[in-house]
Amino acid sequence: MTKTLECVSPIDYSVYATRQTLSRADADAVVSKARAAQKAWAARPLAERIALVQAGVAKIGEDTGRMAEELAHQMGRPVRYGGEFGGFNERATYMASIAEEALAPLVVEDSDAFVRQIKREPQGVVLVVAPWNYPYMTAINTVAPALIAGNTVIIKHATQTLLVGERLVEAFTAAGVPDDVFQNVFLDHDTTSDLIASGAFNFVNFTGSVGGGKAMERAAAGTFATVATELGGKDPGYVMEDADLDAAVDTLIDGAMFNSGQCCCGIERIYVHDSLYDAFVEKAVALVKTYKLGNPLDQDTTIGPMANVRFAREVREQIAEALADGAKTHIDTFPEDDAGVYLTPQILTDVTHDMRIMRDESFGPVVGIMKVSSDEEAIALMNDCQFGLTVSLWTKDAARAEAIGDQLETGTVFMNRCDYLDPALCWTGCKDTGRGAGLSVLGFQALTRPKSYHLKKA
């Protein structure tokens, strides 16, 4: 039985798009086509696969205005930020540039007696379950290297960004990628789980909630398919006494509030050395008060609505609980705050780790700020969390930042920046953030399997 998926626009709570889910039989047919097409796709020269992926990326870039407007309607990001093509293109282009070297055989010996080498073979059929918060950029992290490496790809996008999978496949198909090599599907949760459990996929990439990640792993149990996950986050910033205060405020608060706080590696808690604490809070509050909350289609809007009422409700509940436990808010309610998806960005002080606002993922425009007196205290607080995606350290001393980073339970350590994904570095996490290796050379290794050759010549 099929179901109707509805994308409810946060702009005005109207239904922006609907699609019917596939039946199990139709979903099986999609997988069968992908399986049948994979060997021929992998047999194409690597240079040809790279060129076709790059052409698909370029095709997406032909209408960034449509991308920005559709994203505003689907998940609320203001059009003034121009969509996601910059990061989308950067990631795909980098992965294309390193593909030949990353996928080259590792030659151990090539002598008169032996050829010993390790080759990389594609995993096979890859399922990408993509999130709504950065729907193009998160998808391309896996789609581009998977296709380049010789896999076929099936993408299932979040209901909140229902159109994005279609747009991606339309562009890549128009650029010459064969129809069965890259396919978009609309599936309900049960059908998705059943397909994974049946062994339909060789590799599953999931970005989303911890609960969703656990469901993927349970479904894949016993199939021996690889499941790569990027789940929750509660990323901290630590401002040391020698930090550039203005840069730290501007960058960390932007990292906390951009995209209405709905960033995988957004800043959700900040620890500031006591010598800078008062000045940091004062500057941070002044900055947030300049934000313009409103309709994301308005060029003057700097912070749009949250994507869904239930996401905003969780943020409001965390703030209310913190206030009841003694926290202090610093931003008066904006006139545009509708008690729904349009949510006043908020800064909290007098917070502790007994409050959910400093422990649980908020994924909204709110950040708690705490005073610390030493690196040891800051390290303990940063590690006091079930998640581990990124941390942002602010100091002029790179050696100190690296030494602190070595003690942190995280996937990426930033110094004097945050909320950025460098495609040359591995995108990964630990603890309840999940486990995976996206982008970089390691991304190609994850999307392929090693195959050893031990050839005796005489």
Overall size of the chain counted in residues: 458
Q: Is the pLDDT of residue 160 over 90?
A: yes
Residues 124/128/134/140 CA torsion (nearest 10 deg):
20
Question: Please, which pLDDT band fits residue 155 given cuts at 50, 70 and 90?
Answer: very high
Distance CA 318, CA 320 (A): 6
- Both 258 and 124 in a single domain? no
Kindly state whether residue 129 falls inside one of the protein's structural domains. Answer: yes
In tens, the pLDDT along 359-372 reads: 999 999 999 999 99
Burial bucket for residue 268 (CB in 10 Å: 0-12, 13-18, 19+): buried
Kindly state whether residue 428 falls inside one of the protein's structural domains. Answer: no
- Both 27 and 142 in a single domain? yes
- To the nearest whole number, what is the mean pLDDT of the chain? 98
Report in angstroms the alpha-carbon separations of 444 from 88, 100, 143, 196, 362.
17, 10, 11, 22, 32
Kindly state whether residue 450 falls inside one of the protein's structural domains. Answer: yes
- Both 60 and 47 in a single domain? yes
Kindly state whether residue 395 falls inside one of the protein's structural domains. Answer: yes
- Both 87 and 187 in a single domain? yes
Kindly state whether residue 94 falls inside one of the protein's structural domains. Answer: yes
Question: Please, which pLDDT band fits residue 1 given cuts at 50, 70 and 90?
Answer: confident
Kindly state whether residue 24 falls inside one of the protein's structural domains. Answer: yes
- Both 335 and 443 in a single domain? no
Q: State how many domains the chain has.
A: 2
- Both 159 and 196 in a single domain? yes
- What pLDDT was estimated at residue 358? 98
- What pLDDT was estimated at residue 458? 81
In tens, the pLDDT along 22-38 reads: 999 999 999 999 999 99
- Both 151 and 258 in a single domain? no
- Both 448 and 384 in a single domain? no
- Both 341 and 444 in a single domain? no
In tens, the pLDDT along 324-334 reads: 999 999 999 99
In tens, the pLDDT along 376-413 reads: 999 999 999 999 999 999 999 999 999 999 999 999 99
- What pLDDT was estimated at residue 300? 98
- Both 227 and 245 in a single domain? no
Phi-psi region of 350 (alpha: psi -120 to 50; beta: other; left: phi over 0): left
In tens, the pLDDT along 207-234 reads: 999 999 999 999 999 999 999 999 999 9
Average pLDDT in the 350-356 region? 98
CATH number of the domain that residue 192 is part of: 3.40.605.10
- Both 268 and 135 in a single domain? no
Q: Is the pLDDT of residue 355 over 80?
A: yes
Q: Within 10 A of 14 (CB to CB), how many other CB atoms are there?
A: 10
In tens, the pLDDT along 297-313 reads: 999 999 999 999 999 99
Kindly state whether residue 352 falls inside one of the protein's structural domains. Answer: yes
Average pLDDT in the 238-252 region? 98
- What pLDDT was estimated at residue 291? 98
Distance CA 441, CA 167 (A): 27
Kindly state whether residue 355 falls inside one of the protein's structural domains. Answer: yes
CATH number of the domain that residue 301 is part of: 3.40.309.10
Q: Which residues contact 455 (CB under 8 A, 6 or more apart)?
A: 114, 115, 116
Report the candidate in 362, 366, 419, 401 with the shortest Cα–Cα distance to residue 385.
362
Q: Is the pLDDT of residue 2 over 90?
A: no
The residues annotated as belonging to the active site are 230, 264
Q: Is the pLDDT of residue 418 over 90?
A: yes
- Both 30 and 55 in a single domain? yes
Domain that holds residue 369: 235-422
* Percent of residues, the chain, with pLDDT higher than 70: 100
